Amino acid sequence: MIEIRFHGRGGQGAVTSAELLAVSAIEHGKYAQAFPSFGPERRGAPVVAFCRISDAPIRLRANIYEPDVVIVLDPSVLTIAHVEQGLKPDGILICNTKYDGQHIRDLLKISQKTATVDATHIAMEILKLPITNTTMLGALIRATGLLEKNALEGPLRKRFGKIADKNIKAYETAYEKTTILE
């Protein structure tokens, strides 16, 4: 089982990212669950969401404390949340940042595999909004190989309707521009 924790801010799509990833995994023959963890948050407040993907049924219904993958949708949460907390020694940190992987490793004092992409820039360029959910899914698939590159196209089309093409373009652009520091 792969356990993924998403860190973002309300309104950026962390919960939507987890849901889209779970739906894509299910559509490709895997078992998955996605769920948020938040109280009375509002737009802009820190948000955490979770996703589990497995080849077998998932019976666990708890938050993820030792993730295989951590995804940071908003770089500002790096200074207010301990996003690296519990990340497995062989885990992967995927971060929306304009900095390189070594900078993020040094900032968080980690040695795990680190993938970076300037998802905000991509989102602003393509979507004209700083919503990084689809861009960060592209980075996730690139860094993990968890699903095939085109696995999210159907769920993205269903979720975003008329604006699906832009979201798919943002996803694909992030996939191509993600850099990985082993």
pLDDT score of 11 more than 90: no
36, 69 Cβ separation under 8 angstroms? no
What total of structural domains would you count in the chain? 1
pLDDT at 61: 86
Whole-number Å distance between alpha carbons of 148 and 164: 18
pLDDT at 36: 87
Whole-number Å distance between alpha carbons of 127 and 20: 18
pLDDT at 46: 84
pLDDT at 42: 64
Residues 45-86: pLDDT tens digits? Answer: 788 999 999 999 999 988 899 999 999 999 999 988 899 999
Positive or negative torsion for Cα 86, 146, 7, 22: negative
CATH number at residue 42: 3.40.920.10
Per the structure, the complete domain to which residue 37 belongs is given by: 2-181
60, 82 Cβ separation under 8 angstroms? no
In the chain, the amino acid numbered 23 is V
* pTM of this prediction exceeds 0.85: yes
Residues 140-172: pLDDT tens digits? Answer: 999 999 999 999 999 999 999 999 999 999 999
pLDDT at 45: 79
Name the strands in the sheet holding 69-72, side by side, starting at the edge strand that comes first in the sequence: 31-37, 46-54, 2-9, 69-72, 92-96, 113-117, 179-181
141, 149 Cβ separation under 8 angstroms? yes
Whole-number Å distance between alpha carbons of 7 and 137: 13
Residues 109-120: pLDDT tens digits? Answer: 999 999 999 999
